[in-house]
């Protein structure tokens, strides 16, 4: 399942305020007449990527039991596919709406494969998050070696854009602990297959592919209409093996009552094939194939 990445630099730069702080703003895309998906307008093809996760991945992994399973995971910060591989998934494909997620994932994969120290790993990520011109940072030597030639050219062309700003303020909290980091170093096998797609086109792109796990992270919380969520899940059902699991939404706190109710309502409408299960220790809603 190989995909051509047709990067459009002119379009990519539209959303970034390159005359001021280099930050991304969806409103700039709309003002420039860019075509946006109205079902899912919080992210775009070149919107900033997460530099680290704030999900409770160890607990989520316990629930998923990925050993020996196949998975499709959002690329996100790269942590989700890396954890799945570290804890035994036999094959992991990735997807994301943003091309920048592919870059974060490839940089992390390269650093792990080359057994970099955890402190150096964190330093490279900090540079990605804070440097508007990453090509002039002390980490560029590592970053450039991690990427394809096309991805390097992309970063050169986007030098005054803050491409990796989505993260918690205290990033260090979400760097893997030493034992998990070591397991990831020992398990990572190379660059992941990356599918550049938003959630609504995903099932059509992966037609015929079957997985035991589909990890959507928190994407569905940004889909406002319940029927759109139902449609996505019904489509992805064809890509799940029997007894498969979808990670519906993580970070569900006590304050997220309305989100939980929304997923419970969705669950009632897909009850013919799926069961919604909330696990408090993981703060995550799962959907398991009946």
Give the model confidence (pLDDT) of 125-141 as tens digits. 999 998 889 999 999 99
- For 12, what's the count of Cα atoms within 13 Å in the CB-facing half-sphere? 21
pLDDT in the model for residue 168: 55
Q: For residue 41, is pLDDT > 70? A: no
Q: What is the pLDDT of residues 72-84, one digit of tens each?
A: 999 999 999 999 9
Distance CA 235, CA 128 (A): 35
Q: Which of 12-16, 41-45, 48-52, 160-164 has the lowest mean pLDDT?
A: 41-45
Question: If you average pLDDT over residues 184-206, what whole number do you get?
Answer: 93
Residues 6+ away with beta carbon under 8 Å from 161 = 12, 13, 16, 18, 22, 24, 132
How much is the pTM? 0.93
Out of 3.40.80.10, 3.40.50.12160, 3.40.50.150, 3.30.460.10, the CATH code matching 53-289 is 3.40.50.150
- Domain spans, the chain: 53-289
Average pLDDT value for residue range 174-186: 89
Closest to 76 measured CA to CA, from 99, 103, 49, 54: 49
In degrees and rounded to multiples of 5, residue 284 shows phi and psi of -140, 145
pLDDT at 226 over 60: yes
């Amino acid at each position: 399942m190989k995909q051509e990445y047709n990067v459009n630099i002119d379009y990519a730069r539209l959303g970034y305020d390159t005359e001021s702080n280099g930050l991304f703003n969806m409103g700039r895309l709309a003002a420039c007449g860019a075509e946006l998906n109205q079902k899912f307008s919080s992210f775009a093809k070149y919107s900033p990527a997460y530099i680290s996760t704030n999900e409770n991945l160890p607990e989520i992994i316990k629930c998923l039991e990925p050993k020996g399973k196949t998975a499709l995971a959002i690329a996100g910060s790269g942590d989700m596919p890396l954890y799945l591989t570290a804890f035994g998934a036999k094959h992991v494909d990735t997807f994301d709406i943003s091309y920048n997620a592919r870059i974060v994932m490839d940089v992390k994969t390269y650093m792990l494969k080359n057994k970099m120290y955890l402190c150096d790993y964190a330093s490279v990520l900090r540079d990605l998050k804070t440097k508007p011109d990453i090509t002039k940072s002390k980490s560029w030597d590592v970053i450039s070696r991690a990427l394809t030639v096309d991805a390097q050219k992309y970063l050169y062309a986007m030098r005054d854009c803050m491409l990796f700003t989505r993260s918690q303020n205290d990033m260090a909290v979400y760097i893997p602990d030493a034992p998990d980091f070591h397991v990831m170093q020992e398990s990572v096998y190379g660059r992941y297959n990356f599918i550049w797609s938003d959630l609504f086109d995903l099932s059509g792109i992966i037609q015929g592919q079957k997985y035991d796990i589909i990890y959507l992270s928190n994407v569905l919380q940004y889909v406002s209409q319940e029927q759109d969520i139902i449609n996505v899940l019904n489509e992805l059902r064809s890509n799940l093996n029997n007894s498969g699991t979808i990670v519906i939404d993580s970070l569900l706190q006590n304050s997220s009552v309305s989100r939980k109710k929304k997923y419970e309502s969705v669950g009632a409408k897909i009850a013919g094939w799926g069961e919604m299960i909330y696990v408090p220790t993981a703060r995550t809603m799962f959907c398991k194939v009946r």
